[in-house]
Chain A
């Protein structure tokens, strides 16, 4: 079996339906979201474990690079379609400014420190 299963077919979609997925902001984006989420989840499954178990920084970075390319190849187009739809939905619901303000206030570009041990 390939490490990352194909998810861009209806067959794969119906197989994935055992785990329910949440809806999008608007019904129009939900099919695009489902497709993209399935693609990302499959990719992430093939990403996290090998990267966690990499034995050297060099090996890990090479793996990350290959996985980044694989993500772009498998999910890149689905992401663009979905993102465009969500951006329109965000604008339609009047959330664009709230979101911009929140990003300005707290960009959260870097992970927070882990909690200190009690």
Chain B
């Protein structure tokens, strides 16, 4: 099992960031995201929490040795479940790979919370657990896990810059209408 984690602050309020998660893709920093679809969505009438399940298509540039061993297809898919809690002001996204899960499980969790010290900024917590499937040849499992951690840290950097770009530029529907009327 390998772990990855990072923590930083976005210079945007939590409300803005929580809108931004629906505009995160496409962005020029994450060209590997090919499609995003909502599979299920519900609002809890008691808590007001919005739960969304999405399937995200990803184009991986896997190294040749990975393709050779796994014979993996160019498009892989991940399942993402997000919760936006308006009462506790906690937004979370959990992502698990669907493709290649017979070899490897990558569980990624992101939390967005208002910063305790600066209310106009948002704390971003990201953790990932990478575990090769039981029964995978040990040397291969180790190599796969290491490669995944490298990929995650590269993607994490791009993800951060990409989301920052989105947060600076996206318009909510009413902002878009105001802008077009101006």
Interface residues of A (CB under 8 A from B): 1, 5, 7, 12, 15-16, 18-25, 29, 33, 36-38, 40-42, 44-45, 47-49, 51-52, 60-61, 64-65, 67-68, 71, 79, 82-83, 86, 89-90, 93, 95, 98-99, 101-102, 106, 108-112, 114-115, 118
A contact face: mostly helix, strand, loop, or mixed: helix
Nearest chain A CB to B14's CB is how many angstroms away? 9
* Contact B109 A112, beta carbon cutoff 8 Å: yes
In the complex, what distance in Å separates the CA atom of A41 from the CA atom of B20? Answer: 10
In the complex, what distance in Å separates the CA atom of A98 from the CA atom of B97? Answer: 10
The answer to whether A45 and B111 touch (CB under 8 A), given A23-B34, A95-B98, A114-B88, is no
Which 10 A-B pairs rank lowest in CB-CB distance, beginning with the nearest?
Answer: A111-B83, A42-B173, A108-B81, A22-B36, A51-B86, A98-B98, A22-B25, A115-B125, A15-B180, A45-B172
| B35, CB-defined interface residue at 8 Å | yes
Q: How many A-B residue pairs have CB under 8 A?
A: 147
Please name 28 pairs of A and B residues whose Cβ atoms are closer than 8 Å in the assembled complex, sorted by A. A12-B173, A16-B173, A16-B176, A18-B171, A22-B26, A22-B33, A29-B37, A37-B38, A41-B23, A41-B172, A44-B22, A44-B50, A47-B50, A49-B15, A60-B87, A64-B43, A65-B45, A82-B38, A86-B39, A86-B55, A90-B39, A90-B55, A98-B101, A99-B79, A102-B79, A111-B90, A112-B111, A114-B92
| One of B85, B170, B174 near A5 (C-beta < 8 A) | B174
* Contact A98 B99, beta carbon cutoff 8 Å: yes
Interface residues of B (CB under 8 A from A): 7, 15, 18-19, 22-23, 25-26, 33-39, 41, 43, 45-46, 48-51, 53, 55, 57, 77, 79, 81, 83-90, 92, 94, 96, 98-99, 101, 109, 111, 113, 125, 127, 169-174, 176-177, 179-180
Instruction: Kindly list chain B residues whose C-beta atoms are within 8 Å of the C-beta of A106.
Output: 96
Nearest chain B CB to A18's CB is how many angstroms away? 5
* Contact B173 A41, beta carbon cutoff 8 Å: yes
Nearest A residue to B123 by beta-carbon distance? A115
In the complex, what distance in Å separates the CA atom of A102 from the CA atom of B38? Answer: 16
Instruction: Kindly list chain B residues whose C-beta atoms are within 8 Å of the C-beta of A36.
Output: 38
| One of B23, B36, B89 near A52 (C-beta < 8 A) | B89
